[in-house]
Amino acid sequence: MSSLSGKQGPRYRHIAGEADPYETIAVEKLTPIIGAEITGVDIGKLVSDESRSNRQMDEIHRALAENLVIFFRDQHITPQQHLAFGRKFGELHVHPAAPNEGDPALMKIYADKDSPRANGEGWHSDVSCDLEPPMGSILYIKQCPPRGGDTLFANMYAAYDALSDRMKTYLDGLTALHDGEQAYRGLYANYGVADRPSYPSAEHPVIRTHPVTARKALYVNRGFTRHIIGIPRDESDAMLAYLYQHAENPLFQCRFRWTENAIAFWDNRCAQHRAMWDYWPHTRSGTRVTVKGERPA
């Protein structure tokens, strides 16, 4: 783990500004850096009530932009309402490999005592191997283990900001290959899912600019990024190893403890996440709706 301490306090300093108050929701930050719990929203009602949804939707958009991942507890929604909530943020993305729960856009998230693995155990940004990777993912957990099964999130603006100016200059303009082949082939065999002939792969900037906030974010992850284009392979391996270690600094993270019927909505363009599979032999189960994004720039 790299140290971000200097002679005068932390080298990485997050300056939290005073935000305008919210009017239709309450926003309680988990850490100064990332994550906020939202109250005052009934998602089942929000998706069916067009007239009152706009103000609240604007504030949910704003809370996501300001906090990168937002959480809603005690939501009792049907699969159709989960899909409808996702559609309020854009067209839905269909996962290239994972099993679904009756609708191609409703991804199954499930692990129990017989599972060989759980979904999303390493740090990643969802499906970054797509040419247009998803902007956001909305995970609804219906069944929790008695303890464990948390999800960790990390702020990739903060990871970028904490790089030295020399490193920022070095990375500026570089692109990297993100490959689904290695990530997905055979991964869902335990659910009886047959492999596709091929999986997506795409080249993306190592540093991307968020289309809503215009902030720069580090955009390489252990799950999908294979190498940086145009530099020797050993240099790429060393650089990616450094960037992964840097991005995973706990200073940039929050950790969400699930309760049944909670929802996490994260922005894949500026946050990475990883799921903890520390609850075997217990069961954790839910569904994920994923919203399409744009080509990273």
Q: Strand, helix or coil at 209?
A: strand
Indicate the residue whose CB is closest to ligand SIN: 120
Closest distance of CB 109 from ligand SIN, Å: 5
**Site mask for ligand SIN (CB under 6 A), range 232-271, x = bound:** ----------------------------------------
Determine the Cα–Cα distance for residues 49 and 10; give it in Å rounded to an integer.
47
222 a catalytic residue: no
Q: Considering only CA atoms, which of 263, 193, 249 is closest in space to residue 31?
A: 249
204 a catalytic residue: no
178 a catalytic residue: no
Under rule CB under 6 A, residue 221 binds ligand SIN: no
Are 190 and 115 in contact by the 8 Å Cβ rule? The answer is yes
∠ at Cα 81 (76, 86), nearest 5°? Answer: 115
Selected from 31, 56, 81, 119, the binder of ligand SIN by CB under 6 A is 119
Write down the residue that tokens 């490999």 correspond to. Answer: 97
Selected from 288, 289, 293, 296, the binder of ligand SIN by CB under 6 A is 288
| Annotated active-site residue in 124, 208, 246, 284 | 124
126 a catalytic residue: yes
Strands 69-72 and 36-39: parallel
- CB atoms closer than 10 angstroms to residue 259: 11
Selected from 120, 136, 200, 293, the binder of ligand SIN by CB under 6 A is 120
Q: What is the CA radius of gyration of the chain?
A: 19
Give counts: helices (H), strands (E), the chain: 7, 18
Type of residue numbered 229:
I
* Closer residue to ligand SIN (CB): 59 or 267: 267
Map the footprint of ligand SIN across residues 126-145, applying CB under 6 A. Answer: 137, 139
Closest distance of CB 5 from ligand SIN, Å: 31
Selected from 151, 221, 225, 272, the binder of ligand SIN by CB under 6 A is 151
Are 217 and 207 in contact by the 8 Å Cβ rule? The answer is yes
Determine the Cα–Cα distance for residues 293 and 267; give it in Å rounded to an integer.
10
Closest distance of CB 288 from ligand SIN, Å: 5
Selected from 36, 176, 275, 291, the binder of ligand SIN by CB under 6 A is 275
Determine the Cα–Cα distance for residues 98 and 191; give it in Å rounded to an integer.
9
Closest distance of CB 149 from ligand SIN, Å: 7
Closest distance of CB 191 from ligand SIN, Å: 14
Are 170 and 180 in contact by the 8 Å Cβ rule? The answer is no
* Closer residue to ligand SIN (CB): 34 or 239: 34
Type of residue numbered 4:
L
Q: Known catalytic residues?
A: 124, 126, 273, 288
Binding site for ligand SIN (CB under 6 A): 109, 119-120, 137, 139, 151, 273, 275, 288
